[in-house]
Structure 1
């Protein structure tokens, strides 16, 4: 083999090696955990994952030059999956609470929400105010292991309380008159009662009963990823992507603020 051919071979080999090295630098994978029964944040439709958190996860991959692998879990299994390393971040409409802050690191909040009530439209005449809801004279439902359950058990101690595995079961109980109203996060109430098409049997009371903030969560020892996610969120706030995505999935105006402001 002459020197010219040998040089070409070495040159091609060097390019291949360099190409592999560059490919490796973009080979980062971020495993994202979601509970996919929380419309409009994360849900399945026609066999496809959709929702606000899905859009955020896909955009996160672009922002961090990484591949995003979305894994679906039940709500109850998300923390265990995070702690045992199956996922790197929970993106599933997680409300920041004092108890959860002891178990995971939160990013800056990306949306302010609160617990709201859904009632039957036929009951709007006598249940459409907070005083009636808080009276303890009615049967109230909630999704188990949520901040909705925390609100009901702490603030409505005199009411008849019924817990459900998910939103669908709770809404069915409401329609079938097993409960008088159902408590859930604002995004769910908005989605069920103000997006077309809606069930005209349901009436959403949009006055929030609590103040809560949604954020993403990482392991307590993963401050590096927490900081990366905060940087991405700040960029999205500045370039308008965050508000555009919120407006796409939430049919009401959402104002983002930090706790204490």
Structure 2
């Protein structure tokens, strides 16, 4: 009888141990994704500088944004079934605001960079381009190459904190670089003769050429100095990236992307 009781006790201990081991192996509850949070919250927070037409422009009088990526953000919000909340930022402050989680996604002409990639995800690219000059139409032939631009006496104007300033400082050693804080009126400085040129994204040079017809001309926008792509900068959440990528894929296939693009770039 003693032996039987000992065997039963041992069996009981084994059963309890197995049950405890099973509980230990159970996976912890999954954390809610940012995509789920956005849908539950009912709003998509979009960071924009509002000073970079045709991508985004902010009217301080009305408090409203307009531009290509404003229309794209509205389309993304509709696809998610949520409202869009625009968060005003600046190029020098963009990365800090992103890290502070002030918005879910940055839009408005954001270029893909490895530094930004370290902090979040990028959507599939929406545009391929690069840096190219814009100058007074009478001076286009003077600034075809970086060597022609990088000469003493040439005044290159840049907006602070973004890829334009970084590109200019990386490639120019002899030309004069002037930092101009207002990215909205910066092209007027070239038109007035207070600066000779600016090197910026080809899409922006084409747009500013339209606004300053017969005064400012884009210099070989089809053959920029470097390679760059624009995309949407997302907080690091795989479900959110997967949704945005799929939304972009559908938009490009069903023609809705091209319709918004044509309204601002053609």
TM-score by length of 1: 0.77
Could you list the per-position Cα deviations for residues 157-202 of structure 1 after superposition, in whole angstroms to 9, with x for gaps in the alignment? 22221122133343233233332211122222111103xx534321
Matched, 1:247 2:262: yes
Match of 1:227 among 229, 242, 264: 242
- Count residues with an aligned counterpart: 224
RMSD, matched Cα: 2.3
Distance in 1 between residues matched to 2:162 and 2:194, nearest whole Å: 20
Greater share of residues in strand: 1
Report the equivalent of 1:37.
51
Aligned position for 2:197: 181
Give the counterpart of 1:156 among 169, 172, 176: 172
Indicate the SS of the match to 1:144: coil
Deviates more, 1:76-85 or 1:126-135: 126-135
Residue 106 (1) aligns with residue 122 (2): yes
Secondary structure of 2:178's partner? Answer: strand
2: CA distance, partners of 1:128 / 1:152:
14
- Between the aligned partners of 1:237 and 1:175, the Cα distance in structure 2 is 36
Cα distance in 2 for residues equivalent to 1:227 and 1:154? 35
CA distance in 2: counterparts of 1:168 and 1:225, whole angstroms: 32
- The 5-angstrom pairing of residues 1-261 of structure 1 reads 28-44=42-58, 47=62, 48-124=64-140, 126-130=141-145, 133-137=148-152, 138-194=154-210, 197-205=211-219, 206=221, 207-219=223-235, 221-251=236-266
Distance 1:109 1:70 in 2: 21
- How much has 1:51 moved relative to structure 2? 0.5
Q: What is the CA deviation profile of residues 213-260 of structure 1, one whole-angstrom value per residue up to 9, with x for unaligned ones?
A: 0011122x3222111111111111111212222222113xxxxxxxxx
- My pick for the range that moved more, 148-157 or 164-173, is 164-173
Shift of 1:94: 0.8
Structure 1 residues 240 and 119: CA distance shift in structure 2, 3 A: same
> What residue is the counterpart of 2:7 in the other structure?
none
Does the aligned pair in 2 maintain the 1:119–1:127 contact within 8 Å? no
Q: Secondary structure at the match of 1:145?
A: coil
- For structure 2, which runs of at least 5 residues remain unmatched after alignment? 1-38
Gaps of 5+ in 1: 1-24, 252-261
3-state secondary structure, aligned to 2:245: helix
Counterpart secondary structure, 1:122: helix
Output one character per residue of 1:10-33: Cα deviation in whole Å (capped at 9) or x when no partner.
xxxxxxxxxxxxxxx776211111
Whose Rg is larger? 2
Over 3 Å counting, the alpha-carbon distance change for 1:67 and 1:168 in structure 2 is closer
Report the secondary structure of 1:93's partner residue: coil
Aligned equivalents of 1:84, 1:123: Cα separation in 2: 43
Structure 1 position 59, deviation (Å): 0.4
Q: Deviations over 1:106-155 (max 9, x none)?
A: 1111111211211112323x425226644434221111111111211111
Task: Give distance in 2, aligned partners of 1:129 and 1:157.
Answer: 17
Q: Is the 8 A contact 1:107 1:216 kept in 2?
A: yes
* Aligned 8 A contact 1:116 1:183 in 2: yes
